[in-house]
Amino acid sequence: MTKENICIIYGGKSAEHDISILTAQSVINAMDKEKYAVDTIYITNEGEWIKGPAITNKIEDAEVLRLMSSESVSLTEMLSQSTTGQAYDALFPLLHGPNGEDGTIQGLFEVLDLPYVGNGVLAASSSMDKLVMKQLFANRGLPQLPYVSFLRSEFEKYRTNILELIDNKLEYPVFVKPANLGSSVGISKCNDREELIKGIEEALQFDRKLVVEQGVSAREIEVAVLGNDHPETTLPGEVVKDVAFYDYKAKYKDGKVKLAIPADISEETAETLRNMAVEAFKATDCSGLVRADFFVTEDETIYINETNAMPGFTKFSMYPLLWENMNVSYSELITRLIELAKERYTEKKKIKYKMD
């Protein structure tokens, strides 16, 4: 059987660089090597692109994926020609955060007319920007918590006014979030004005645009979405925390977070969450994969928090585990995402780019 050529792209000029490497290790190890010939491209923290060798064996240590500079190859050649000398059937970007999950690299693939896994430019960029995402959700009628958003330059000029606006519009605790980062990087839970100021100063190190959101006493429930024009959803799962706030350290270093799959909620609430996940998927014109995150209060009032266009994707992450609960294995999920990428690329080829 002739193998399909797939290129895994990981690393990236992002605060989530290390997470991307772990994701790449997990995906590469789970891919069906009888079906796919697997190449790699590593993007360093400085933004250098390095083509790696074909991978045929299991990667035991993720550190081997931190490739060193080799012979110079043009970016176009790197992306268009596999180590077998054939064109890639699909590129598989496993990049989290800016310069990878935000539509920038997707735009590059579109310009070069290459098939790739995951969301397109609009979906990736709007799902990455929390403010734009909230505005699209509002247009779709999805319920959200109150929030305030501002730029670094605005805070520098109107600091007192913005702090007063937050105090008047929201109630403590509030969450301060960089608008364009994931994995809880730069996010702070703030219980008073002093903590708010510290949280804003921390978040402004990671982005020029912030969102300050009303806190709520609620469970964190997530739904995985898979597909293109006709997406499927999983039963909801719950993030069960042993800490007050599910931050980067709790997620990736302390192991103080457990996942309950499926979540212990009523069938009616589960169905509502699944329907809302599809609405959120469509609101940002998504394709491939999305994880939709919700808050569910004690009386089962639902608020959408966000969608993640490139969710955590190691075999122990919520997204793959939600599908495993639906009897879709991690390896099969990877295969389906590649098939969806080729399907979308074929569909795009039907578009006319010149008049007869």
To the query of whether residue 183 is one of the catalytic residues in this protein, the response is yes
219 annotated to a ligand binding site = yes
Let me know the angle formed at the C-alpha of 309 by 125 and 311, rounded to the nearest 5 degrees. 140
Catalytic residue among 4, 16, 101, 238: 16
342 annotated to a ligand binding site = no
20 annotated to a ligand binding site = no
130 annotated to a ligand binding site = yes
175 annotated to a ligand binding site = yes
305 annotated to a ligand binding site = yes
To the query of whether residue 82 is one of the catalytic residues in this protein, the response is no
220 annotated to a ligand binding site = yes
Contacts of 258 (CB under 8 A, 6+ apart): 239, 240, 241, 242
125 annotated to a ligand binding site = no
81 annotated to a ligand binding site = no
- Amino acid residing at 222: E
- Amino acid residing at 76: T
- Amino acid residing at 281: F
List C-alpha distances in Å: 175 to 31, 35, 338.
38, 45, 36
213 annotated to a ligand binding site = yes
Residue among 216, 230, 219, 208 at smallest CA distance from 174: 216
Catalytic residue among 183, 188, 238, 287: 183
Catalytic residue among 20, 125, 188, 317: 317
- Residues annotated as binding site for ATP? 130, 175-177, 183-184, 213-220, 305-306
**Would you list which residues are annotated within the binding site for Mg(2+)?**
293, 306, 308
Q: Which residues are annotated as a binding site?
A: 130, 175-177, 183-184, 213-220, 293, 305-306, 308
Catalytic residues: 16, 183, 317
